Amino acid sequence: MTPGDLDLRLREQIRTLFEVGSLGALSDRQLLDRFSSGDTAASEPAFAMLVERHGPLVLAVCRRLLADPHLAEDAFQATFLVLARRAGSVRNRDALGGWLHRVARRVALRLRIRIDRRKSHERPEVEEVAVNDADRLQHDELRAVIDAEIDRLGEAQRLPVVLCCLQGLSHEEAAHQLDWPLGSVKSRLARGRRRLQDRLLRRGFAPAVAAVAGSTAFLGNEATAAVAPALVEATARAATALAIRGLVTGVVPATALVLVREELVSMIAFKLKLAAAVSLTAGSFALLIGFALAASQGEEASPKIAPAKQAAETPSANKADASPVVVKLSASGKVVDSGGKPIAGATVILREWSLYRAREPRSKEDRTFMEREGLVDSLAETKTDDEGRFRFDDVAAPGFKKTEGVGQSVFPWDVVALAPGHGLNWVQLTLQNQQAPITLTLGLEGTVRGRIVEPGGKPVVDAKVSVYGLQPLGSPDINGVRTDNGLNLSWSAFPVGAKTDSEGRFIIRGLPIERIAALAVTEPRHERLFAFAATTDEPQPNHIQRSFRSFGRVTESRHPIHTGGFTLTAKTTDHVLTGRVTLETGGKPARDARLTCNNQATKADSAGRFHIEGLTSGPLELQVTSADVDAAPIVTTIAIPEEPKVLERSLSLPPGLVLTGRVLDGASGKGIANALLTFIPMPEAARTSLDFDPQNETDAEGRYRLVVPAGLGTLLLQTIPQGFAKPVGDRFDGPADPKFSREISGRSGQTIEVAEFSLIRSRNIVLRVVDPDGRPVENARVDVRDFNRQPEQPSGKTDTQGRYEVTGLQPHEGTVIDVTASDRRLGAMIELLDDETATTAATSLEVRLQPLGTLSGHVLDDDGKPLAVQVLYLYRSVAFPDQSGRSFGRIVATQHQIDEDGSYSFDQIIAGASYNTHVEVSGHATSSGKHATVKPGQSVRLDDFRLPVTDQEVKGVVVDPRGNPLDKVMVSYDRSNRTDAIMPPTGSVWFEKTKSFGRFHLTGLPRGPIKLSVSRSQEGADRSIRNIKSIDVADDQHELLRIELPDANDHLRGID
């Protein structure tokens, strides 16, 4: 052993003695927080512990894809450096194994593909392996295939598979890490294993091999593999340097740095895709800081489905119909108090979700009025009769221009009941409860009271205090659009609120008790305020809001949840900022510079002068850009003093880095117009990060010009016009195609001519649809099942010759197409695989239809009695045969009323296609069936649904052995003793964390004796108390349930 090796070993032993003993007890989340603290002394040991903990898993994945051990170590280091850069944006910070497994596989696979391409004979990629005899594969090759299939699992199945099967955790330990009920871990792990076995069978493995390969015995325990201490130390040192200084010292190979860069770019491309196509929930944090931010949300990612126009000669697509469809709504039921007594004269309102309506395009004047007054979202209003009954018949509900599937898979309506002296209640109006009577129970009335004053204590009079959301205690996710546990009133003029009196006081009545209300305070002469208040006297913990930005940047803010009487301070908006924007070089005015603050923009005049009114005292973040000069955008913070009211400040813009180039049609060499390019700067230690990414579109000749901050960054071709191929990585979690991105490095004042982007045309295919005898089929429906992207032409019908042209297919990617002739009970599924030899010119394909099959079954209660009133959905699921991405599903049929014996039948089932059913019955649990396929003309009987009645509730408190209440303890209904996969009905709560004073309230539980699982995260917990316990609850339990978590045995480490 050399002196250097001895010295390294000695340092490792000392570090283990003094650091690992304490760090080893910390969770992944705590280690990440310590690593992100910015303290080098604390960061490096914390990251080293993460590398030691998860290194064996990562190294095993890399070695299975890379035969060269040195290359495997390069991929290993790259994976952890990506974690160092993205530490703030990992969603499940308590269980990093699943995230690291996916990143490691992507990084290693990208390196393997690059190496294979350098060789004269190319080998197939791991995902393409398909064999009839598993004995032909070596152990590591089979494990690499399993890695690919694990990567394809949804998160709910992937995480327990990685933790239990690859990292060797017990079910209880995995439940602690994931903060899931023990029963959920067991059931999801079992489903994950079954899916692995099914997918191995589809790849061609023998059933016995698939069964063994999906077992824990074969997958083994990778947590015992060894990672060299020198590799751990070098990786931790490099990660700390990258996170704190933005630099990597010479201990990391160049290959690893290239892999890090490529993976970060692929993640950015995914972020941009999500930002362009995300639905409402991705922008939900904005509502916490103002309605104006919520108004900027983009449209949903789902494509608009509309029939295509028929043509006599050449098949062609028709554009989707932009006009929304009017839906007829009906509802009936009764309103009762908590004792079941009818409430006469209660107001019942049928309303639409104003949050969806606010997303529609509108003029600036309309939006200003909407921000000030709100939207009238009431579709109909009525009063209950003497027996508390109400009824709505065929109420016209206008569709939404930016929402697809309204009335089929999306139900943006509520029925809300209010009565004096009671707390309001509501229910989401779905297909299900339009068929059955609704009962709305109004409980005790909750109130919110407070006072609005100026900083000096002067009352703010006539301020409007509005409630824009209601959520349960302990979960103030006010921005969620679902209303099973919350009511979203964003942008709404709904009559719940108050105005301040002459002393600035207000009181809001008619709220339900034990709820959190999101409040917005507006008054023309004062700043707009947002706050949370609870309709309880019990103290509530602060609400922590996290906002994620580029390259893992995270901002965190805390919002107090007020109880009892409280006071909010509103500053006056009578301050003015004036000044002049000039260029740093030469001092010339920055003409028409754009200044943005508080979500409002102001333009400087030709002399660079600006004037911003309506400001408050305090720090003001100002973004300044100029499109007419080659100056870089800046972000600066200006302190607005209380006096004077008018502040003058001069601003200067530094020279920018100018990027120019062209986007061309690869076939003709002509420029492509309207391609959108975005530059994402790499954050540096001494530079303020931008909250926006500079972007610009190409002109008619395909030319673009961007002025960006100097330094490092990535130029992405974000939006590509129709008719051209999109990036291969333009799907969820996929790698970015380097042909659509450029790495940029430049200095201020420099102009860079960026290498041209050359695009290839997308593929078109003309289908000729014929019946089993070869005769053309007219009016056959064609559906492109490319749920991962928005097809240019998602659906249409064949012409008189049975022809239909499918346009905009991506070269080198698979696509699934369904063709059905419902009137003739014929159909077919087409799988277009990755074809490297395919041309972009339109090709022809004959589609021969086969007889459709049938899926049938029964819906019964737990006693085997049929259930008649329900909603039954048929989902069409797609798993693309040549892609490693996830499967997607869409509702293709719905039934509202089935036969009296509980039987149902779907008779439009395409042979070979995958389907599953989902059932909802009023007053019962919901459930989803297994995936099923049929042969041509075959009838398949599915397993019966067994749905228990769900009319039981359990209230209780969780305490320690000394009687002290425990908050943040997960209490959940344990379904592990059931053989079917039942789920909670709409509005029910089957699991929740205890709130202040250890209280919990579960509703809509199955009738009869049940079992509860009580679990507590070890993070910040007293380890002398057990963290998991099972409780049997009798069906006649009406008293408050008291659950005591007893003292733990030391050898169990807090696990019961």
Lowest mean pLDDT among 431-440, 781-790, 1020-1029: 1020-1029
806 pLDDT above the threshold of 90: no
pTM confidence score: 0.59
**Can you give the pLDDT at residue 39?**
65
**Can you give the pLDDT at residue 587?**
86
How many angstroms separate the CA atoms of 1001 and 956, rounded?
A: 7
How many angstroms separate the CA atoms of 928 and 872, rounded?
A: 10
Paired with 665 in beta bridges are: 759
Report pLDDT digits (tens) over 54-63: 999 899 888 8
Q: What confidence tier does 416 reach under pLDDT thresholds 50, 70, 90?
A: very high
Report pLDDT digits (tens) over 482-517: 445 688 888 787 888 999 999 999 999 999 998 899
865 pLDDT above the threshold of 50: yes
How many angstroms separate the CA atoms of 919 and 98, rounded?
A: 31
For residues 378 and 272, the model is more confident at 378
Kindly state the tokens that stand for 931: 């995936």
Determine phi and psi for 375, rounding to 5 degrees: -100, 140
135 pLDDT above the threshold of 50: no
Determine phi and psi for 367, rounding to 5 degrees: -65, -40
Q: From the CB of residue 872, how many other CB atoms can be counted at a distance below 10 Å?
A: 23
**Can you give the pLDDT at residue 990?**
87
Whether residue 575 contacts residue 616, with contact meaning beta carbons closer than 8 Å, is answered with: yes
For residues 284 and 872, the model is more confident at 872
305 pLDDT above the threshold of 50: no
Helix (H, G, I), strand (E, B) or coil at 613: strand
630 pLDDT above the threshold of 80: yes
Lowest mean pLDDT among 239-248, 594-603, 809-818: 239-248
Instruction: Pick the most confident of 209-218, 360-369, 493-502, 866-875.
Output: 493-502
The percent of residues above 70 in pLDDT, for the chain, comes to 72
Determine phi and psi for 647, rounding to 5 degrees: -115, 135
Whether residue 535 contacts residue 514, with contact meaning beta carbons closer than 8 Å, is answered with: yes
Kindly state the tokens that stand for 1031: 């409780």
Domains of the chain, earliest start first: 3-252 (no CATH), 326-443 (2.60.40.1120), 444-572 (2.60.40.1120), 575-653 (2.60.40.1120), 659-757 (2.60.40.1120), 763-851 (2.60.40.1120), 853-947 (2.60.40.1120), 952-1052 (2.60.40.1120)
Whether residue 983 contacts residue 926, with contact meaning beta carbons closer than 8 Å, is answered with: yes
Contacts of 943 (CB under 8 A, 6+ apart): 857, 929, 930, 980
How many angstroms separate the CA atoms of 358 and 491, rounded?
A: 7
How many angstroms separate the CA atoms of 214 and 192, rounded?
A: 9
Lowest mean pLDDT among 311-320, 808-817, 1012-1021, 1032-1041: 311-320
Dihedral of the alpha carbons of 698, 703, 705, 706, in degrees to the nearest 10: 50
**Can you give the pLDDT at residue 631?**
87
**Can you give the pLDDT at residue 609?**
94
Q: Which helix (H) or strand (E) holds 187?
A: helix 182-202
How many angstroms separate the CA atoms of 316 and 939, rounded?
A: 35
How many angstroms separate the CA atoms of 89 and 70, rounded?
A: 29
**Average pLDDT, stretch 396-422?**
81
Pairing assessment for the beta strands 594-597 and 600-603 based on DSSP bridges: antiparallel
Whether residue 752 contacts residue 659, with contact meaning beta carbons closer than 8 Å, is answered with: yes
Kindly state the tokens that stand for 636: 């600066």
Whether residue 856 contacts residue 942, with contact meaning beta carbons closer than 8 Å, is answered with: yes
Q: What confidence tier does 120 reach under pLDDT thresholds 50, 70, 90?
A: very low
**Can you give the pLDDT at residue 884?**
45
Find how far residue 364's CA is from the centre of its chain: 30
Helix (H, G, I), strand (E, B) or coil at 818: strand
For residues 607 and 891, the model is more confident at 607
Q: What confidence tier does 114 reach under pLDDT thresholds 50, 70, 90?
A: confident
Contacts made by residues 894-898, CB under 8 angstroms, sequence distance 24+: 894/408, 894/431, 895/871, 896/431, 896/435, 896/870, 896/871, 896/872, 897/435, 897/868, 897/869, 897/870, 898/859, 898/868, 898/870, 898/872
Angle at 90 between CA 88 and CA 93, to 5 degrees: 100
Residue 827's nearest CA partner among 783, 795, 867 is 783
Q: What confidence tier does 318 reach under pLDDT thresholds 50, 70, 90?
A: very low
Hey, which bits of 710-814 come out as E strands?
711-719, 741-746, 751-753, 757-759, 763-770, 781-784, 795-797, 803-809
**Average per-residue pLDDT in the chain?**
77
How many angstroms separate the CA atoms of 6 and 9, rounded?
A: 5
